[in-house]
Amino acid sequence: MKKEKWHYILGAYLKQHKLAIVMFLCFVGIFAFIFTLYDLEMEAVFYAAGICLLLSVVVLSMDFFFYQKKHRECVKILPNISLMIDELPIANTLLENDLQDMIYEMKNLLDTALTSWQSERTESVDYYTTWVHQIKTPISVIRMILESEDTREHRELLSELFRIEQYVEMVLSYLRLSSETSDYVFKEYDLDSIIKQAIHKYAPQFVYRKIRLNYSPVSIQVLTDEKWLLFIIEQVISNSIKYTQKGSVTISVTSDKILQIADTGIGIAADDIPRIFEKGFTGYNGRSDKKSTGLGLYLCKQAAERLTHKISVQSTPNTGTVVSIDLYTEKVWAN
**pLDDT at 194 (0 to 100):** 95
CATH class of 188-335: alpha beta
In a 13 Å sphere around the CA of 104, the CA atoms on its Cβ side amount to: 9
Distance CA 44, CA 259 (A): 88
Q: Round to whole Å and give the CA distance between 37 and 225.
A: 91
Give me the tens of pLDDT residue by residue for the chain, a chain 335 residues long: 455 677 788 888 888 888 888 888 898 888 888 888 877 777 877 888 888 888 888 988 898 888 888 888 888 888 888 778 888 888 888 888 888 889 889 889 998 998 998 888 888 888 888 888 888 889 999 989 988 888 888 888 988 898 888 888 888 888 888 776 667 888 999 999 999 999 999 998 898 889 999 999 988 999 999 999 999 999 999 999 989 988 999 999 998 999 999 999 999 888 888 888 988 777 666 555 555 666 888 999 999 999 999 999 999 998 999 999 999 876 544 44
Backbone φ and ψ for 150, nearest 5 degrees, come out as: -95, 90
Strands (E), the chain: 186-190, 212-215, 221-225, 248-253, 258-263, 310-316, 320-326
End-to-end C-alpha distance for the chain, whole angstroms: 37
CB distance 70 to 99 below 8 Å: no
Q: Are 247 and 279 contacting, i.e. CB atoms less than 8 angstroms apart? A: no
Nearest to 323 by CA among 241, 201, 205, 223: 241
Residue ranges covered by each domain of the chain: 6-89, 113-181, 188-335
pTM for this model (two decimals): 0.66
Kind of pairing between the strands at 310-316 and 320-326: antiparallel
